[in-house]
C-alpha cells in the first residue's frame, strides 16, 4: 500500500506552527491530470525566495509505501526552466522506512535555492515539487546486515 498522510498536529506544531486552521486546510499531494506521473506537493504558506537565497521548506506530509519502492522528489519543470530555482539535492529520495521514524514522524522537507536573478514568489497552495513512486531492484549477493531507522511503529 502507498499513500500520503498529513503529519500529526503535534509534529506540525513542532515543525511549522501551532495553527489548527492552517493544519486542517492544507492538501495532500495529488496528480493534476490522469497521465501525470508526479504527485504535486503544495506550499503551506506564502514565501519569497530572493536571488541566491536558500530556504528549507516543510511539506506537512509523510508517506507510506511498499518495501521495494522509493518516492523520488523532483523539481516541477517550471521552477528550473522559468525561474532557475531548484532543490539543493537535485532529487530527494524518501525510503519506505522513513515513514513514522522516531526523529520527525517521517515529515518530508525540501531545501530549495534561487539561482536566478529575480524573486521567486510562492503563494499558499502553489505546487512546489512533485513526487514519483518508483520500484527498485537489489543485488543478489547483498550483505544482509542493516541498520534500523528506529521507527515509531
Tens of each residue's pLDDT in the chain, 153 residues:
999 999 999 999 999 999 999 999 999 999 999 999 999 999 999 999 999 999 999 999 999 999 999 999 999 988 999 999 999 999 999 999 999 999 999 999 999 999 999 999 999 999 999 999 999 999 988 877 667 656 544
Q: How many domains does the chain have?
A: 1
128: in domain: yes
Helical (H) or strand (E) element with 21: helix 20-25
Give the CATH number of the domain where residue 23 resides.
Answer: 2.70.40.10
- Print the domain residue range for 129: 3-135
CA 94 to chain centre: 8
142: in domain: no
Q: Could you give the 3-state DSSP secondary structure of residue 107?
A: coil
144: in domain: no
pTM for this model (two decimals): 0.91
Grid cell for residue 95: 525510503
152: in domain: no
57: in domain: yes
pLDDT of residue 66: 97
pLDDT of residue 62: 98
87: in domain: yes
151: in domain: no
pLDDT of residue 71: 98
149: in domain: no
d(CA 18, CA 153): 25
Evaluate whether 68 touches 119 at the Cβ level (below 8 Å): no
d(CA 56, CA 48): 12
Evaluate whether 56 touches 49 at the Cβ level (below 8 Å): no
Amino acid at each position: 500500500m502507498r499513500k500520503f498522510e498529513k503529519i500529526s498536529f503535534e509534529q506540525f506544531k513542532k515543525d511549522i506552527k501551532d495553527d489548527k486552521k492552517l493544519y486542517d486546510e492544507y492538501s495532500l499531494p495529488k496528480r493534476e491530470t490522469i497521465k501525470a506521473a508526479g504527485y504535486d506537493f503544495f506550499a503551506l504558506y506564502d514565501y519569497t525566495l530572493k536571488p541566491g537565497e536558500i530556504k528549507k521548506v516543510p511539506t506537512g506530509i509523510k508517506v507510506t509505501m511498499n518495501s521495494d519502492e522509493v518516492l523520488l522528489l523532483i523539481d516541477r519543470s517550471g521552477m528550473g526552466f522559468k525561474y532557475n530555482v531548484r532543490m539543493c539535492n537535485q532529487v530527494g529520495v524518501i525510503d519506505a522506512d522513513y515513514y513514522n521514524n522516531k526523529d520527525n514522524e517521517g515529515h518530508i522537507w525540501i531545501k530549495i535555492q534561487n539561482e536566478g536573478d529575480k524573486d521567486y514568489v510562492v503563494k499558499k497552495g502553489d505546487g512546489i515539487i512533485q513526487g514519483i513512486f518508483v520500484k527498485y531492484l537489489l543485488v543478489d549477493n547483498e550483505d544482509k546486515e542493516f541498520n534500523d531507522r528506529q521507527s515509531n511503529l
